[in-house]
Amino acid sequence: MPRSIPDTALPGGLSLPILGLGTWAMGERAEAADREVEALQRGLDRGITLIDTAEMYGDGGAEEVVARAIAGRREKTFIVSKVYPWNASSTGTITACDDSLRRLKTDCIDLYLLHWRGSHPLAETVAAFEALKAAGKIRAWGVSNFDVADMEELFAVEDGANCAANQVMYNLTRRGIEFDLVPWCRERGLPVMAYSPIEQGLLARHPDLVHMAKAYQATPAQLALAFVISQPGLVAIPKTSDPHRVEENVAALDIALTVEDRRVLDALFPPPQRKMPLEMV
Ligand SMILES: NC(=O)c1ccc[n+]([C@@H]2O[C@H](COP(=O)([O-])OP(=O)(O)OC[C@H]3O[C@@H](n4cnc5c(N)ncnc54)[C@H](OP(=O)(O)O)[C@@H]3O)[C@@H](O)[C@H]2O)c1
């Protein structure tokens, strides 16, 4: 049965579900595609509507997997895709978006992100994003792997403050952004999309989390996800190609962490006490 997924507001009036489905490493092998489609569809069946992809993943193959998964139910999904930094010029951004739309078999991407900073001036990329929005090819745009200084630079260019989200690496073992980037985004009503929320699978086997999860009748992956999505303005996009793990990850929505739970997690995975460099994979 689909369930209702809480969401967080995006600047500009849209809303973003707090739990989505990642697709990195999908679309790389033809023989794995059916299972990947099944995993994404399992998420959709359970009410997860947010799917995160990029032109980079599987060289466009992940977007093709997404297209298969959402066929016939595009209107019930929220699709995020990303442009490579070296494509993010005035004209390159438009071409890359058109290519993504073709692979995704849709006429509009809900949220289109600059994957990371490159050499094209931010003003050029922003102008291209705004042109795509005006043409109805994207509904909102944002950035990824931007630290506070990058965000300040972005907000200083024309229309830069129209940025709707920042997608960065964040999980229990990588909490650096809590010191400055999360408060910066929160002050501006900008959601932070946490990628690698399970530390690319490692948190599912982390001994402390394994131990703690037993007391909660939960799994370590669920605790890792609950840690992220229980915070206001944070969104987690775990990736799995396993339909059973999709079910497991969706059930993280049922975990209500208490103040005491957070204290235990802080003791095991201490929050930052000073500015940390933004982490990336
Ligand atoms: N913007 C960026 O620069 C950027 C960078 C990295 C990632 N991302 C996005 O964020 C998404 C998530 O990040 P990620 O893929 O790096 O890492 P992740 O979601 O933290 O972890 C994915 C790994 O964890 C495993 N896994 C998932 N659920 C599990 C569970 N319940 N129990 C045990 N293992 C589990 C998956 O394996 P199986 O598939 O075998 O289940 C996969 O190997 C990506 O797919 C991508 O969409 C964005």
Sign of torsion, CA 182 184 188 192? negative
Sign of torsion, CA 239 70 244 258? positive
279 falls within a domain? no
Instruction: Specify the pLDDT at position 216.
Output: 86
Q: Which atom of ligand 1 is nearest to the CA of 116?
A: 3
Instruction: Specify the pLDDT at position 147.
Output: 98
Atom 15 of ligand 1: nearest residue by CA position: 239
Give the 3-state secondary structure of residue 52.
strand
Name the active-site residue from 57, 112, 170, 195. Answer: 57
Residue 198 Cβ inside 6 Å of ligand 1? The answer reads yes
Range of the domain at 99: 15-202+234-240
271 falls within a domain? no
Q: What φ, ψ does residue 48 adopt, rounded to 5°?
A: -75, 125
User: Is the pLDDT confidence value at 12 over 90?
Assistant: no
268 falls within a domain? no
| 160-201 pLDDT tens trace | 999 999 999 999 999 999 999 999 999 999 999 999 999 999
User: Is the pLDDT confidence value at 1 over 90?
Assistant: no
Q: Are the CB atoms for 165 and 192 separated by under 8 Å?
A: yes
Instruction: Specify the pLDDT at position 190.
Output: 97
Residue 166 Cβ inside 6 Å of ligand 1? The answer reads no
72 falls within a domain? yes
252 falls within a domain? no
- Domain containing 185 — which CATH number? 3.20.20.100
- What distance lies between CA 220 and its chain's CA centroid? 20
163 falls within a domain? yes
228 falls within a domain? no
Q: Which atom of ligand 1 is nearest to the CA of 202?
A: 24
Q: What φ, ψ does residue 131 adopt, rounded to 5°?
A: -65, -40
Cβ within 8 Å of residue 162, ≥6 positions away:
11, 12, 126, 129, 130, 141
Instruction: Specify the pLDDT at position 2.
Output: 86
User: Is the pLDDT confidence value at 46 over 90?
Assistant: yes
Instruction: Specify the pLDDT at position 71.
Output: 98
Measure the CA–CA gap between 83 and 231, rounded to whole angstroms: 28
Catalytic-residue membership of 170: no
| 137-161 pLDDT tens trace | 999 999 999 999 999 999 999 999 9
Residue 100 Cβ inside 6 Å of ligand 1? The answer reads no
Q: What φ, ψ does residue 273 adopt, rounded to 5°?
A: -105, -5
93 falls within a domain? yes
Q: Which atom of ligand 1 is nearest to the CA of 24?
A: 45
Residue 201 Cβ inside 6 Å of ligand 1? The answer reads yes
The total of structural domains in the chain comes to: 1
| 72-90 pLDDT tens trace | 999 999 999 999 999 999 9
Instruction: Specify the pLDDT at position 33.
Output: 98
Residue 204 Cβ inside 6 Å of ligand 1? The answer reads yes
As a whole number, the mean pLDDT across the chain is 97
Helix-helix angle 90-104:122-134, to 10 degrees: 50
Q: Which atom of ligand 1 is nearest to the CA of 241?
A: 39
Rounded average pLDDT over 211-226:
94
Atom 38 of ligand 1: nearest residue by CA position: 240
